[in-house]
Amino acid sequence: GAVVSQHPSRVICKSGTSVKIECRSLDFQATTMFWYRQFPKQSLMLMATSNEGSKATYEQGVEKDKFLINHASLTLSTLTVTSAHPEDSSFYICSARWPGFNEQFFGPGTRLTVL
Amino acid sequence: AQRVTQPEKLLSVFKGAPVELKCNYSYSGSPELFWYVQYSRQRLQLLLRHISRESIKGFTADLNKGETSFHLKKPFAQEEDSAMYYCALSPNNAGNMLTFGGGTRLMVKP
Protein backbone atom coordinates (compact mmCIF):
# COMPACT_ATOMS: atom_id res chain seq x y z
CA GLY A 1 0.00 0.00 0.00
CA ALA A 2 0.81 3.72 0.07
CA VAL A 3 1.86 4.08 -3.56
CA VAL A 4 2.21 7.49 -5.18
CA SER A 5 2.53 7.85 -8.93
CA GLN A 6 3.58 10.74 -11.12
CA HIS A 7 2.89 11.35 -14.76
CA PRO A 8 4.74 11.95 -16.96
CA SER A 9 8.07 10.58 -15.80
CA ARG A 10 9.90 12.92 -18.13
CA VAL A 11 8.86 15.74 -20.42
CA ILE A 12 10.68 17.95 -22.88
CA CYS A 13 9.00 21.15 -23.97
CA LYS A 14 9.76 24.37 -25.79
CA SER A 15 10.31 27.61 -23.96
CA GLY A 16 7.05 29.50 -23.43
CA THR A 17 4.79 26.47 -23.27
CA SER A 18 2.98 25.13 -20.20
CA VAL A 19 3.48 21.69 -18.74
CA LYS A 20 1.18 19.80 -16.38
CA ILE A 21 2.47 17.16 -13.99
CA GLU A 22 0.09 14.81 -12.18
CA CYS A 23 0.55 13.27 -8.76
CA ARG A 24 -1.78 10.48 -7.68
CA SER A 25 -2.13 8.51 -4.48
CA LEU A 26 -3.13 5.09 -5.78
CA ASP A 27 -4.40 3.30 -2.72
CA PHE A 28 -5.16 5.94 -0.15
CA GLN A 29 -6.80 9.31 0.09
CA ALA A 30 -4.48 12.23 0.68
CA THR A 31 -5.87 15.53 1.86
CA THR A 32 -2.37 16.93 1.75
CA MET A 33 0.22 16.55 -0.97
CA PHE A 34 3.55 18.28 -1.34
CA TRP A 35 5.55 19.42 -4.36
CA TYR A 36 9.33 19.52 -4.28
CA ARG A 37 11.98 20.58 -6.72
CA GLN A 38 15.41 18.99 -6.94
CA PHE A 39 18.29 20.41 -8.96
CA PRO A 40 21.14 18.10 -10.00
CA LYS A 41 23.21 16.94 -7.05
CA GLN A 42 21.16 19.05 -4.68
CA SER A 43 18.54 18.33 -2.07
CA LEU A 44 14.77 18.52 -2.30
CA MET A 45 13.33 21.98 -1.85
CA LEU A 46 9.69 22.25 -0.84
CA MET A 47 7.79 24.38 -3.31
CA ALA A 48 4.26 24.20 -1.99
CA THR A 49 1.75 22.30 0.09
CA SER A 50 -1.31 21.20 -1.82
CA ASN A 51 -4.51 20.96 0.18
CA GLU A 52 -7.58 19.20 -1.18
CA GLY A 53 -10.39 21.61 -1.80
CA SER A 54 -8.46 24.75 -0.93
CA LYS A 55 -5.63 26.91 -2.20
CA ALA A 56 -2.08 25.67 -2.08
CA THR A 57 0.39 27.14 0.36
CA TYR A 58 3.56 28.28 -1.40
CA GLU A 59 7.01 28.55 0.12
CA GLN A 60 8.81 31.85 0.10
CA GLY A 61 10.31 32.65 -3.27
CA VAL A 62 8.03 30.31 -5.25
CA GLU A 63 5.85 32.15 -7.75
CA LYS A 64 2.28 30.98 -7.39
CA ASP A 65 1.32 32.30 -10.81
CA LYS A 66 4.19 30.39 -12.37
CA PHE A 67 3.60 27.10 -10.60
CA LEU A 68 -0.13 26.48 -10.51
CA ILE A 69 -1.30 23.76 -8.14
CA ASN A 70 -4.71 22.15 -8.20
CA HIS A 71 -5.80 19.51 -5.68
CA ALA A 72 -9.32 18.84 -6.87
CA SER A 73 -9.73 15.35 -5.44
CA LEU A 74 -8.40 13.29 -2.56
CA THR A 75 -6.18 11.28 -4.89
CA LEU A 76 -4.93 13.82 -7.41
CA SER A 77 -2.83 16.96 -7.31
CA THR A 78 -1.50 18.68 -10.41
CA LEU A 79 1.39 21.08 -10.86
CA THR A 80 1.34 23.24 -13.97
CA VAL A 81 4.52 25.06 -14.92
CA THR A 82 3.27 28.01 -16.95
CA SER A 83 5.30 29.70 -19.67
CA ALA A 84 8.22 27.42 -18.95
CA HIS A 85 11.78 28.66 -19.42
CA PRO A 86 15.07 26.76 -19.45
CA GLU A 87 15.74 27.73 -15.82
CA ASP A 88 12.60 25.77 -14.87
CA SER A 89 14.31 22.58 -16.01
CA SER A 90 14.53 20.38 -12.94
CA PHE A 91 13.33 17.21 -11.24
CA TYR A 92 9.90 17.70 -9.70
CA ILE A 93 8.84 15.30 -6.96
CA CYS A 94 5.49 15.02 -5.24
CA SER A 95 4.57 13.32 -2.01
CA ALA A 96 1.31 12.48 -0.32
CA ARG A 97 0.70 12.45 3.39
CA TRP A 98 -0.77 9.29 4.83
CA PRO A 99 -3.65 10.61 6.93
CA GLY A 100 -3.21 10.23 10.64
CA PHE A 101 0.29 8.81 10.41
CA ASN A 102 2.35 11.94 9.84
CA GLU A 103 4.30 10.21 7.10
CA GLN A 104 4.88 11.19 3.48
CA PHE A 105 5.07 8.79 0.57
CA PHE A 106 6.98 9.99 -2.45
CA GLY A 107 6.35 9.72 -6.14
CA PRO A 108 9.10 8.70 -8.57
CA GLY A 109 9.58 12.23 -9.84
CA THR A 110 9.19 14.00 -13.18
CA ARG A 111 12.18 15.31 -15.08
CA LEU A 112 11.31 18.50 -16.94
CA THR A 113 13.59 19.81 -19.66
CA VAL A 114 12.74 23.14 -21.24
CA LEU A 115 14.52 23.84 -24.51
CA ALA B 1 13.06 29.08 10.17
CA GLN B 2 14.31 25.54 10.45
CA ARG B 3 17.47 24.26 8.84
CA VAL B 4 19.01 20.80 8.36
CA THR B 5 22.71 20.35 7.70
CA GLN B 6 24.46 17.23 6.47
CA PRO B 7 28.14 18.16 6.42
CA GLU B 8 29.34 15.28 4.25
CA LYS B 9 28.28 15.08 0.61
CA LEU B 10 30.06 11.76 0.17
CA LEU B 11 31.01 9.04 2.61
CA SER B 12 32.96 6.05 1.39
CA VAL B 13 33.60 3.02 3.59
CA PHE B 14 34.54 -0.62 3.16
CA LYS B 15 32.07 -3.42 3.69
CA GLY B 16 31.89 -4.37 7.36
CA ALA B 17 33.11 -1.00 8.59
CA PRO B 18 30.98 1.18 10.89
CA VAL B 19 29.07 4.03 9.33
CA GLU B 20 27.93 7.33 10.77
CA LEU B 21 26.09 9.87 8.63
CA LYS B 22 25.92 13.19 10.38
CA CYS B 23 22.87 15.43 10.62
CA ASN B 24 22.51 18.64 12.57
CA TYR B 25 19.45 20.81 12.73
CA SER B 26 18.33 24.20 13.93
CA TYR B 27 14.80 24.76 15.10
CA SER B 28 13.47 26.59 18.12
CA GLY B 29 10.71 24.13 18.96
CA SER B 30 10.47 20.35 19.28
CA PRO B 31 10.82 18.90 15.82
CA GLU B 32 10.29 15.45 14.46
CA LEU B 33 13.36 14.07 12.71
CA PHE B 34 13.52 11.56 9.87
CA TRP B 35 16.03 9.76 7.72
CA TYR B 36 15.04 9.08 4.11
CA VAL B 37 16.97 6.89 1.69
CA GLN B 38 17.07 6.88 -2.08
CA TYR B 39 18.58 3.82 -3.74
CA SER B 40 19.80 4.06 -7.31
CA ARG B 41 16.92 4.72 -9.73
CA GLN B 42 14.32 4.41 -6.99
CA ARG B 43 12.10 6.88 -5.25
CA LEU B 44 12.73 8.44 -1.88
CA GLN B 45 11.55 6.25 0.99
CA LEU B 46 11.42 6.59 4.73
CA LEU B 47 14.19 4.76 6.57
CA LEU B 48 13.40 5.70 10.14
CA ARG B 49 12.00 8.41 12.37
CA HIS B 50 13.13 9.39 15.82
CA ILE B 51 9.79 8.93 17.57
CA SER B 52 9.59 5.24 16.66
CA ARG B 53 13.03 4.45 18.08
CA GLU B 54 13.39 1.50 15.71
CA SER B 55 16.34 -0.12 14.04
CA ILE B 56 15.71 -0.49 10.33
CA LYS B 57 18.12 -2.52 8.17
CA GLY B 58 20.58 -2.29 11.04
CA PHE B 59 20.49 1.51 11.10
CA THR B 60 19.73 3.52 14.22
CA ALA B 61 19.54 7.22 14.93
CA ASP B 62 19.24 8.99 18.26
CA LEU B 63 17.93 12.47 18.65
CA ASN B 64 20.33 14.54 20.74
CA LYS B 65 18.50 17.73 21.63
CA GLY B 66 21.52 19.18 23.44
CA GLU B 67 23.68 18.92 20.34
CA THR B 68 20.71 19.32 17.95
CA SER B 69 21.87 16.25 16.08
CA PHE B 70 20.28 13.15 14.61
CA HIS B 71 23.19 11.11 13.30
CA LEU B 72 22.50 7.85 11.46
CA LYS B 73 24.62 4.88 12.47
CA LYS B 74 25.21 1.30 11.44
CA PRO B 75 27.87 -0.91 13.02
CA PHE B 76 28.68 -2.97 9.93
CA ALA B 77 28.03 -1.49 6.50
CA GLN B 78 26.84 -3.68 3.63
CA GLU B 79 27.25 -3.05 -0.09
CA GLU B 80 23.48 -2.80 -0.48
CA ASP B 81 23.51 0.18 1.87
CA SER B 82 25.05 2.27 -0.90
CA ALA B 83 22.52 5.03 -1.57
CA MET B 84 21.71 8.67 -1.04
CA TYR B 85 20.61 9.49 2.50
CA TYR B 86 18.62 12.57 3.46
CA CYS B 87 17.96 13.84 6.95
CA ALA B 88 14.69 15.75 7.28
CA LEU B 89 12.89 17.77 9.90
CA SER B 90 9.21 18.37 10.45
CA PRO B 91 8.30 21.26 12.74
CA ASN B 92 5.89 20.40 15.48
CA ASN B 93 2.26 20.71 14.37
CA ALA B 94 3.23 21.68 10.83
CA GLY B 95 1.19 19.08 9.03
CA ASN B 96 4.26 17.01 8.28
CA MET B 97 5.94 19.69 6.16
CA LEU B 98 9.52 18.51 5.67
CA THR B 99 12.77 20.41 5.41
CA PHE B 100 15.55 18.29 3.93
CA GLY B 101 19.27 18.37 4.43
CA GLY B 102 21.60 18.40 1.46
CA GLY B 103 22.01 14.65 1.46
CA THR B 104 24.98 12.33 1.87
CA ARG B 105 25.94 9.73 -0.68
CA LEU B 106 27.11 6.56 1.03
CA MET B 107 29.34 4.26 -0.97
CA VAL B 108 30.16 0.89 0.53
CA LYS B 109 33.09 -0.73 -1.20
CA PRO B 110 33.60 -4.51 -1.29
Render pLDDT for A38-84 as a digit per residue (tens, 0 to 9): 988 788 999 999 988 888 999 999 999 999 999 888 999 999 999 99
At residue B80, φ and ψ (nearest 5 deg) are: -70, -5
Q: Does A99 touch chain B (CB under 8 A)?
A: no
Q: How far is B4 from chain A (nearest CA, A)?
A: 11
Q: Does A58 touch chain B (CB under 8 A)?
A: no
Is A34 within 8 Å of B97 when comparing Cβ atoms?
yes
3-state secondary structure chain B: CCEEECCCCEEEEECCCCEEECCEEECCCCCEEEEEEECCCCCCEEEEECCCCCCECCEEECCECCCCECCEEECCCCHHHCEEEEEEEECCCCCCCCEECCCEEEEEEC
pLDDT in tens, B12-47: 999 999 999 999 999 988 888 999 999 998 999 999
pLDDT in tens, A15-51: 999 999 999 999 889 889 999 999 887 889 999 999 8
Question: CA–CA separation, A8 vs B1, rounded Å?
Answer: 33
Q: How far is A48 from chain B (nearest CA, A)?
A: 9
- Pairing of the two strands B83-90 and B99-100: antiparallel
Q: Which of residues 39-78 of B touch A (CB under 8 A)?
A: 42-46, 49
Q: Does A11 touch chain B (CB under 8 A)?
A: no
Q: Does A32 touch chain B (CB under 8 A)?
A: yes
